[in-house]
Amino acid sequence: MSSLSVKLPLTKDSGNGFTMNKSIVGMIKQNFKMLLLTIPGERVMEPNFGVGLKTFLFSNYYEGVESQISQRIREQVTTYMPTITVKNIQFLKSNIDVNTLGIRITYEIPAIGLQDLLEFTI
């Protein structure tokens, strides 16, 4: 089976040298996660690329922050990943550690008729 991209984080693989993404779904999920975690200005030659979720982590919490993050995610997806459609964004609250931000994003890849979930905590 052919490879589509290098899987991140980089790990060695005896077959290809590095572990590779071998499915469209895996590659799109990885690219989506990178879009969410990249801070604007961090990517070379693309100063507007990225949602920058980590920048929201230690900012003051106010009533509209979740809608601001949701709007930023939707804008970035429309610009940089038009192959997916964001269906739902949920923010997960933790009673154990208030210094974390949990996000669950349901998205669809209309071209192949697949719905997937990206969930992580920073």
| CA dihedral for 3, 26, 5, 28, sign (positive or negative) | positive
User: Is the overall model pTM greater than 0.85, yes or no?
Assistant: no
Mean pLDDT (the chain) is 85
Q: 118 with 88: CB under 8 angstroms?
A: no
Domains of the chain (ranges; CATH) run: 5-121 (3.10.450.40)
| CA dihedral for 82, 85, 91, 96, sign (positive or negative) | negative
CB atoms under 10 Å from CB of 50, counted, come to: 22
Q: Residue 11: pLDDT above 90? A: no
Q: How many CA within 13 A on the CB side of residue 13? A: 14
Q: So what's the pLDDT on residue 81?
A: 95
State the Cα angle at 49 between 102 and 46, rounded to 5°: 155
Q: So what's the pLDDT on residue 97?
A: 65
Q: What is the pLDDT of residues 23-57, one digit of tens each?
A: 788 889 988 999 999 999 998 999 999 999 888 77
Exposure letters 58-69 (e unless 16+ CB within 10 A, then b): eeeeeeeebeeb
Q: So what's the pLDDT on residue 6?
A: 75
